[in-house]
Structure 1
């Protein structure tokens, strides 16, 4: 070790086994200082992630976050090494796997583990593990880092080590620092540019901050005076106004001020550095007069393409011509959902991803909200609907005699009651959860969205009246400026209304709604990229408003796409509900469902002018495309009896490979209970005693099993938690708490009668409270509540009724035992 560590030898004699933080302060920090590391290059307790959030019915549990003891950075935002410190009496080898994991996550090549006396170094480039005498100096480690990343000349090294921009702030005024995966994306991209690469792809899950990554890439290039000793000229491209305005206002203008300009109106301003533009504004005419051609082909140094799976993704797209015109520029594609199809290949143009951060990783790290899935099937979707011979629709047209199903609904035939029943289910769900929880409903078309909006406002007439018709609103391209104003209000974190946004496709991508709590799928989805984008609307966290998870309500089996390996995980298990003649679920059967191979590229096919006249205008708006594709002879019927056929409840979980999977809640709980390695009688025996019941509750809590979720799944809020567990794990018949209390009163009357009337009165109250509220009422601390104090006094006074506190405890212990033997 260095002299700095030697100076602390006397400390070890007084503190024979210092904790890890003491090892850091007394050994590691002096050793680093002795090696020449400055204070601003050493980051203690470096946060890697936040810890996965486990969603339950009533609350959220967050696992312990990952933190590295120290991260060493050569310059601002460029970590190059990580250190794990162990207690002096532990071997540094004990931290080896841990620090290797940290290094892998942080994308740094050098990892160290130390106990204050010995240092082990792992070099990811060579794969060698060696014991060293002291930490390398910053310059030595930087030289090795440059060799590892092939940053051979000083210009490349200077670009890679350029600082970030520190202007941005969080809502609470703290600096908006990139997360670990954002730093990786930023640094890999800048290092690739330094190495001469001209086409790059970054794949980051929706909600993980692609815009921050893009703006900080520009910041590093800006601070390095790239290229050639001047500020870079940058073009940021997207196909929707919100994808331009939000990055401009929230990121680029605060960071770069007047250097930022939004292109449009045919005016090619050339005095700025950072331009943001819609494809449509650059290529409004499709000829030599197009705005993008008013700039020289080599004008821009860097082009960033947001949502690069759309717009310019198709090889024959007019918008692709913009990228090809600016081919001398470095071009970076950003997306959550790359597309690989017949005519559309994100990888073919931009290359393999420099970095990919998936939805599964985001949820596992606690940066994205986990979700629950409620699959609801309506009877007409399960059995189909066939008209009577000669039956006419609401417009007096005869309906072709055939069996109609989900693929035809709302394209060929619309059943009015089908929409109303879905609105009724959603209304009931919001009554159980939060009527003001922001919700998006995806419908089949703009016309279908209008009928759903109407049905929701009718089902919630009290709130529609209170909020002047803005409880549920249709927000589609067809709604023009009023719709855009409603969208702005819906996105606003501080507004209460609109609560429910009903749309077709407008809100499926590019709209940041952190407070969104529910996503409702009521149209068939065949495109995996679109499905990922839709799910991504709900993944943003908003702790300030208590938003830590979200729910997906699926009426059309769209969540079958969770089955696709492209959705960050292995195939899911889907439940087929078997019912009796009355539509009640009698059994749920797990079955494998093959993935849907059909992919739909976005936007739809483009038009070209040919001999014989001018074709219709170029259509790119998704809602308009959907309406054009919809059958012009859509039939409308009513008077159809539509009911819920069945439903199933799923939770998201991480599989062994680190991917996401959906698992039915019953199966999840059964697996967790079996892992407790207890037989049914042992589990019941532990639950029968207050002290061991608390220990068991803690184990259940660590297994992410919460009584409220159990009760919701079973539809039995009157059942004891232990009975729900026994039923789920071993199918032991359920008892209600009232039944358990009644059996004690009947079968163990002698026990109750053995107490004086004033003590018996307390025990009767305990049983009543247990039946009404749950097992917590069987514990002595429950006697402090108003349910007892108003009639019986405090706990000491209650104890006097039994002849003292000890006898009160004995009575409650025996009562606990009798409650749980009454089976």
Structure 2
């Protein structure tokens, strides 16, 4: 390989770094695992060969889903012909679940209406503003009835940051509808204006590169050779979250912790209001769901701040209201010390169950309060079935009441 400086634009075009493709695939698979593994996603790659390698990498990282859904991730390029067209049609259908991920190079930049597409992924540099608008236009359609209220641009090349910062970006949509009205002003016909493919001259991405390896001693007739690097190590070294303002014109880079604090304060102005709703398991689930809709996954957040043992409630209060951090173990121990009056109401057998619930919480979190699921795992299933365990409290209603009160006291402490 010639001794030269290779930039992002050269990757997969002049120098093919297999490790880079694998790193992108791992990060994307991780992102979807934290958000929605069935969120329809388009990955824009450098060329058809790169799209194939990306498809293979993503399939290998999602073998559990590919086993049940062979078309979970598909390549759609000109090489696929009618097969690719069929994959594209199913992807566009709002009623079909798969394919979920399409990898492509140029084929899906224009003329594809995918209203439920939630992730637009840039694995190649986009050189022109018209093409960039066409690409992100794949995700701008909203379908509230299918839970599509926003979409993500996941950029591994710096293209989106550069384009949104460009004064030439005016935020106008690339999809336009035309309405025909009658003399009374009533709409009698609506149709989408066909998108015009951008001029190829708008995409200064260098000469075409032939698919597959090229002999090192032969420049070939189609341009410079493409070098393949199988070794080396590539890793994601920085993850930035940009938020587009309400006008759709400016990006603001936010630390995940600051972003989370702002969103929590938007939902709850103070910690006491958050605590009130957090004590209710159903409301707590709603809070978690609303945060996930804003791109905040509590498990990932705890890992990001280096506090995986912290209770999510304490973490949110710390980020939003600067409250002190407590681990789950500290909360559990404090309840045992300060709520002996509550615990002494139960006999030894029932107290054994509550102590085990607290231990499960300290180790794994508030999901351990879910009844009757928790009673089907050790050590609870060693004490009998659900009915037998409930009998220690005087019945199922009393058991559920005791665990609910335990949760309330845990978060009151």
TM-score by length of 1: 0.36
Please tell me whether the aligned partners of residues 467 and 497 of structure 1 are also in contact (alpha carbons under 8 angstroms): yes
For 1:604, the equivalent position in structure 2 comes to 200
1:265-316 deviation per Cα after TM superposition (whole angstroms, max 9, x unaligned): xxxxxxxxxxxxxxxxxxxxxxxxxxxxxxxxxxxxxxxxxxxxxxxxxxxx
Count of matched residue pairs: 353
SS where residue 647 of structure 1 aligns?
coil
Distance 2:86 2:264 in 1: 50
SS of 1:636 mapped into structure 2: strand
Q: Is the 8 A contact 2:13 2:209 kept in 1?
A: no
Aligned partner (choices 182, 204, 208) of residue 627 of structure 1 = 208
Aligned pair 1:714/2:315, yes or no? no
Matches of 2:69 and 2:288 in 1, distance apart? 42
Q: Tell me how far apart the structure 2 counterparts of residues 465 and 798 of structure 1 sit (CA, whole Å).
A: 39
User: What 5-or-longer segments of structure 2 have no aligned partner?
Assistant: 172-196, 211-221, 376-385
> Secondary structure of 2:134's partner?
helix
Q: What is aligned with 2:133?
A: 532
> Which has the larger share of strand?
1
1:760 to 344, 351, 356: 351
Q: Residue 10 of structure 2 aligns with which residue?
A: 408
Shift of 1:639: 0.7
* Cα distance between partner residues in 1 of 2:274 and 2:5: 54
Partner-residue secondary structure (3-state), 1:559 = helix
Say which one has the larger Rg.
1
Aligned to 1:636: 228
Cα pair 1:419 1:451 within 8 Å, conserved: yes
Which shifted more, 749-758 or 557-566? 749-758
Describe how 1:22-41 pairs up with structure 2 within 5 A: none
| In structure 1, C-alpha distance between the alignment counterparts of 2:205 and 2:321, rounded to whole Å | 53
CA deviation vs aligned residue, 1:210-250 (integer Å, no higher than 9, x gap): xxxxxxxxxxxxxxxxxxxxxxxxxxxxxxxxxxxxxxxxx
Contact 1:516-1:537 at 8 Å conserved across structures: yes
> Is the 1:737–1:770 contact (alpha carbons within 8 Å) kept by the matching residues of 2?
yes
Does the 8 Å contact 2:45/2:103 carry over to 1?
Answer: yes
| 2:390 aligned with 1:792 | yes
8 Å CA contact 1:711, 1:719 repeated in 2: no
Correspondence 1:511 to 2:125: no
Q: Report if aligned partners of 1:442, 1:502 keep a CA contact under 8 Å in 2.
A: yes
Deviation for aligned residue 1:725: 1.7
Structure 2 counterpart of 1:723: 314
Q: How far did residue 481 of structure 1 move?
A: 4.4
Residues 1:496 and 1:632: Cα distance change in structure 2 (over 3 Å): farther
SS of aligned partner of 1:531:
helix
Alignment partner, residue 20 of structure 2 = 418
Contact 1:521 1:552 in 2 (8 A): yes
Q: Output the CA distance in 2 between the equivalents of 1:703 and 1:437.
A: 16
Deviation, 1:473, is 2.8
Higher helix share: 2
Which residue number corresponds to residue 439 of structure 1?
41
Q: For 2:89 and 2:292, how far apart are their aligned partners in 1?
A: 37
Q: Which residue of 1 aligns with 2:121?
A: 520
Structure 1 position 415, deviation (Å): 0.9
Q: Give the Cα–Cα distance (whole angstroms) in 2 for the partners of residues 659 and 644 of structure 1.
A: 27
8 Å CA contact retained: 2:76, 2:88: yes
In structure 2, the CA distance between the partners of 1:523 and 1:530, relative to structure 1 (3 Å rule), is: same
CA distance in 1, matches of 2:125, 2:249: 25
Change in Cα spacing, 1:441 to 1:687, as seen in structure 2 (3 Å) is closer
Mapping for residues 50-129 of structure 1, pairs under 5 Å: none
Change (3 A) 1:766 1:486: closer
TM-score normalised by L of structure 2: 0.66
CA distance in 1, matches of 2:107, 2:279: 51
User: 1:523, CA displacement in angstroms?
Assistant: 0.6
